[in-house]
Each structure stands twice: as C-alpha cells, then as structure tokens.
Amino acid sequence: MIDVNHDSESLAEKYDKVSKYQYINGLALVEQLNISARHKVLDVGCGTGRLTLKLASKVDHITGIDLSPQRIEVAHRKLTQMNPGNVTFELGSSDDICRYGEDVFDVVYLNAVFHWINDKEEALDNIYQVLKPSGKLGICTADKDHPFTAKIIAKEVLRKAGIIGEDINPSIPVNTAELDSLLRKSGFRVRNKAKKRPAVFRDPC
C-alpha cells in the first residue's frame, strides 16, 4: 500500500497536473449520480480537490477527505482562492468517516480510490452508515479483470516517486462481480453499472 508519509508537496502538485483522465472519469461518475443543489456530498479520497471544487456550484455542501496532508494542503490553497463557501477539506479516509454521524450525506463517491482500500467491506459498511436512507454511492475504480493499464502505470509512477518498492503491489482491485457482492453485503442496492472507460497514457510519468 501507499505510505502517505512519503508524499510531498511537489508530488501533490504533480499529481494535480497529471490526473487528467482520473478527473474526466470522475466527471462521468458524478454525472450519473444526478447530484443536485440540495445535496450534501462526501468525496472520499479527494486528492487535491479538483473534482470536489468542480461540484461546489451544484450542491448544498461538499466535504473532501484524503489521507495525504500534502494533497489536502493543495486543496486548501485552491479553496482559499475560490472561496465558494460550501466546501470543506479534511484529513480522513473511509476508516474514520463515521465521525460525521449517521444519515448525514445524500451522496458519497470514490473516484479512483476504492482499489487502494484494504478492508473494502468495512469501508462500505462505514459509507452505508453516513449515507441517508435514500442516499447514493458512486464508485469509479480499477477492474481486476482488466488490470494492466491502471496497475502498471500506477505502480511505475509510485515506484519512480519512491513511494513504493519494486516488490509492492500498490492497489487491490476487485472485478465487477466482487464489487457487486461487496455492495449488496453492506446493504446497497446496485442500480447502475457503468461501462469500462478506456484511457491511453503516453508515459507513466
């Protein structure tokens, strides 16, 4: 897994510049969630807040959480510049979101995050708790049955950045059937399965 202690401000800034396709997939994800002006939203693994801030004008309030202090710092700088008034960035992960209480959010989404989570069942249980009874969860994640692009590129980027070693597999993806099973086990009803969105990268850096 990634050691966030090896993240840095320069890596966070670089991530913000090279995460184009992740951002595009995130836009497609939130569009399917039909987010509206009355919704309170939680972005789990928000990174530097690019997608979070994009949604600010469409929601009542949105909270972005991430494990990396450096990425949250970048997000805070953006927030200061934009000052939308309805966005909060905090350190956190799916492990500790129950601090928000039960039945709080209308929408929770994880964009390019779920495959990094070790205990996926616990994460989904926690998300189920913080969602309102009519709430929606959106997940855009790597597919274990089609691992090569996401897995190889992610590993090479993290290896070159010194965040992981040669023998470490940084992500733990699941396939569609496994995700479906995990969601249903946590109490979710699966209503929409998005199609695989291919992306081509010129260089892992």
For residues 133 and 106, the answer to whether their CB atoms sit within 8 Å is no
Rounded to whole angstroms, how far apart are CA atoms 172 and 142? 9
Q: What share of the chain is helix, strand, coil (3-state, %, to 5)?
A: 45, 15, 40
Q: Helical H runs in the chain?
A: 9-18, 20-32, 50-54, 69-82, 120-130, 148-160, 176-185
Which pLDDT value is given to residue 65? Answer: 98
Number of helices followed by number of strands (H, E) in the chain: 7, 5
Residues of the chain with pLDDT under 50: 1-2, 198-205
Instruction: Say which residue the tokens 């699966």 belong to.
Output: 190
Domain locations in the chain? 4-142+179-185
For residues 75 and 44, the answer to whether their CB atoms sit within 8 Å is no
Instruction: Say which residue the tokens 């616990």 belong to.
Output: 122
Q: Does domain 4-142+179-185 have CATH number 3.40.50.150?
A: yes
Closest Cα to residue 64, out of 80, 83, 79, 44?
44
Contact residues for 76 (Cβ-Cβ < 8 A; gap 6+): 89
Q: With H, G, I as helix, E, B as strand and everything else as coil, classify residue 190.
A: coil
For residues 108 and 126, the answer to whether their CB atoms sit within 8 Å is no
Beta bridge partners of 44: 65
Please name the helix (run of DSSP H) or strand (run of DSSP E) that holds residue 35, with its range, or none: none
Rounded to whole angstroms, how far apart are CA atoms 88 and 97? 14
Closest Cα to residue 127, out of 44, 19, 27, 39?
44
